[in-house]
């Protein structure tokens, strides 16, 4: 059994593709996996995403609107997680990232409403939770605490643990491909593409 912690920008350009690659690889290899999604957002991550999208020649909303979209997606994720559970919150982010992966300018309140409606998420439930700023902030801070603990500086970042191994975990910074991921799972990877984490959370790590 592997555990994968995926640290992502809530609307990050490479996060959708990375998640898709990971799931495809795990399915093809028939590997048992427990996924943990940790969306994080700060000024540096927002700026990094803007730079990547500009290099990709994407249409972009103005910077303030783009920043607001990032933080709103982060709050929505935590509100959905608290109201409906992790699985539906992950699905929300996945659908949002898929919509924005090639054109961030399509972001709008109407897009958010469509995604939540398609997922049978009631806006009234989310607004009720978001009115309690303390609950949302505590949930966000809990994820940020883990990111700080592992010194996560960029998104997407993937951390892999193997519960059947007593070695260290592997941290992969940036987009990954299926070949590298498959090699890592079978402990045949080259040193330069990863660095190792000390033991955390009493897990036996890759």
pLDDT at residue 194, rounded to an integer: 39
Which of 195, 156, 147, 36 is closest to 206 using CA atoms?
195
**At which residue do the structure tokens 């941290």 appear?**
171
CB 37 within 8 A of CB 86: yes
CB 7 within 8 A of CB 38: yes
Residues listed for the chain? 206
What's the CA gap between 53 and 72, in Å, rounded? Answer: 19
**At which residue do the structure tokens 């803007």 appear?**
50
Q: What is the pLDDT of residues 90-146, one digit of tens each?
A: 999 999 999 998 888 899 889 999 999 999 999 888 888 988 888 999 999 999 999
What's the CA gap between 37 and 27, in Å, rounded? Answer: 18
Q: Specify the CATH class of 1-184 in words.
A: alpha beta
Which of 179, 188, 185, 191 is closest to 162 using CA atoms?
185
- Phi and psi torsions of 158, nearest 5°: -115, 130
Q: Looking at per-residue confidence, does 62 or 185 come out higher?
A: 62
pLDDT at residue 196, rounded to an integer: 41
CB 188 within 8 A of CB 73: no
What distances in angstroms separate CA 170 from CA 7, 18, 181, one per listed residue?
A: 13, 16, 11
pLDDT, average across residues 174-195: 63
Q: What is the band of 187 on the pLDDT scale with cuts at 50, 70, 90?
A: low
Q: What H or E segment, with its residue span, contains residue 23?
A: helix 15-29
């Amino acid at each position: 059994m592997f555990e994968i912690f995926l640290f992502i920008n809530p609307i990050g350009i490479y996060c959708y593709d990375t998640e898709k690659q990971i799931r495809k690889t795990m399915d093809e290899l028939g590997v048992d996996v427990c996924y943990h999604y940790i969306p994080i957002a700060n000024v540096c991550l927002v700026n990094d995403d803007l730079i990547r999208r500009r290099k990709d020649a994407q249409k972009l909303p103005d910077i303030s609107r783009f920043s607001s979209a990032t933080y709103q997606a982060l709050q929505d994720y935590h509100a959905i997680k608290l109201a409906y559970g992790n699985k539906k919150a992950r699905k929300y982010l996945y659908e949002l990232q898929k919509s924005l992966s090639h054109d961030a300018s399509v972001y709008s309140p109407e897009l958010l409403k469509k995604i939540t409606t398609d997922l049978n998420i009631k806006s009234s439930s989310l607004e009720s939770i978001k009115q309690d700023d303390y609950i949302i902030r505590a949930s966000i801070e809990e994820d940020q605490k883990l990111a700080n603990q592992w010194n996560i500086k960029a998104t997407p970042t993937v951390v892999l643990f193997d519960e059947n191994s007593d070695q260290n975990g592997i941290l992969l910074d940036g987009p990954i491909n299926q070949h590298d991921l498959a090699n890592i799972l079978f402990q045949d990877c080259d040193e330069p593409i990863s660095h190792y984490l000390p033991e955390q959370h009493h897990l036996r790590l890759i």
